Amino acid sequence: LFLQEVEGEGSLRMKLLFSWHLPYRIHAGRDVGNAYATRFSSAQDAAEYHLRHEPRILRTISSWNKIFAESSLDHPLIDFLMNSVSNFIKTGFLTADGRWRQFESFSCNDVEPVHLHLYRSIPLALLFPQLVRNILDTGYAVTQESCEGYIPETLGEGCGGSP
Nearest residue to 19 (alpha-carbon basis) of 38, 45, 47? 47
Q: 157 near 163, Cβ under 8 Å? A: yes
Q: Where are the domains of the chain?
A: 26-146
Mean pLDDT across 92-97: 89
Q: How confident is the model at residue 140 (pLDDT cuts 50, 70, 90)?
A: low
pLDDT higher at 113 or 22:
22
pLDDT, tens only, 5-45: 888 888 988 888 999 898 988 877 788 899 989 899 999 99
Phi-psi region of 81 (alpha: psi -120 to 50; beta: other; left: phi over 0): alpha
Which pLDDT score, from 0 to 100, does residue 51 have?
Answer: 94
